[in-house]
């Protein structure tokens, strides 16, 4: 069963549970968070407010596309592959889409949760760890460097 083939009523009535063998990526969201994903009516009003979508022009790099990816992860249709995690990582987290959304989808909260799970389950390279340490402990630790 493909998650794109499901209607909203089928998803909400069945509550789509997942098997014990696939609990890592599917436990990305609790049921209440999944309900927030389902609030998206796919109207596309968020697209013009999203800087990454305007720049890249790819649906995966829009709030609507990222919600599709999160839903696919929750339902077990998608795995945490680079093709799935890259669009979630490219979001600037400006939350301009939240103000444009007529359904009130808490996109920022959902994205934070998704990024947390990605960070916990995906190993980081030495380069990524060093850059993170440099930025968090070096640059942001010194107010002098921030004024340059």
Q: Is 91 helix (H, G, I), strand (E, B) or coil?
A: coil
Residue 118 lies in a domain: yes
pLDDT at 42: 93
Residue 113 lies in a domain: yes
pLDDT at 125 over 90: no
Q: What CATH number is given to the structural domain containing 78?
A: 1.10.1060.10
> Is residue 109 a contact partner of residue 36, using CB atoms and an 8 Å limit?
yes
Enclosing domain of residue 9: 3-123
pLDDT at 135: 77
**Residue whose structure tokens are 């980081």:** 124
Please report, to the nearest 10 degrees, the dihedral formed by the alpha carbons of residues 84, 70, 45, 94 taken in order. Answer: -80
Give residue-wise pLDDT tens across range 28-69.
566 667 889 999 999 999 999 999 999 999 999 999 999 999
pLDDT at 11: 43
Residue 135 lies in a domain: no
pLDDT at 28: 54
Give residue-wise pLDDT tens across range 63-110.
999 999 999 988 889 888 889 999 999 999 999 999 999 999 999 999
pLDDT at 100: 96
What average pLDDT does the segment 10-35 reach? 51
pLDDT at 1: 47
Residue 130 lies in a domain: no
Residue 100 lies in a domain: yes
Number of domains in the chain: 1
User: Per the confidence metrics, is the pTM higher than 0.85?
Assistant: no
Using CA atoms, how far apart are residues 125 and 70, in angstroms rounded to an integer? 24
Residue 141 lies in a domain: no
Which of 70, 65, 75, 60 has the alpha carbon at shortest distance from 110?
70
Residue 137 lies in a domain: no
Residue 148 lies in a domain: no
């Amino acid at each position: 069963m493909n998650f794109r083939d499901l209607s909203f009523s089928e998803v909400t009535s069945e509550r789509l549970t997942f098997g014990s063998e696939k609990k890592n990526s599917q436990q990305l969201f609790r049921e209440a968070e999944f309900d927030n994903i389902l609030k998206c009516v796919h109207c596309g009003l968020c697209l013009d407010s999203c800087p990454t979508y305007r720049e890249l022009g790819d649906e995966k790099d829009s709030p609507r596309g990222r919600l599709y990816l999160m839903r696919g992860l929750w339902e077990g249709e998608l795995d945490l592959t680079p093709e799935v995690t890259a669009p979630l990582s490219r979001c600037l987290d400006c939350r301009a889409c939240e103000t444009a959304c007529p359904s009130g989808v808490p996109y920022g909260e959902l994205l934070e949760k998704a990024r947390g799970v990605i960070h916990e389950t995906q190993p980081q390279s030495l380069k990524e760890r060093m850059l993170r340490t440099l930025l968090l402990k070096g640059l942001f630790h010194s107010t002098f460097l921030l004024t340059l």
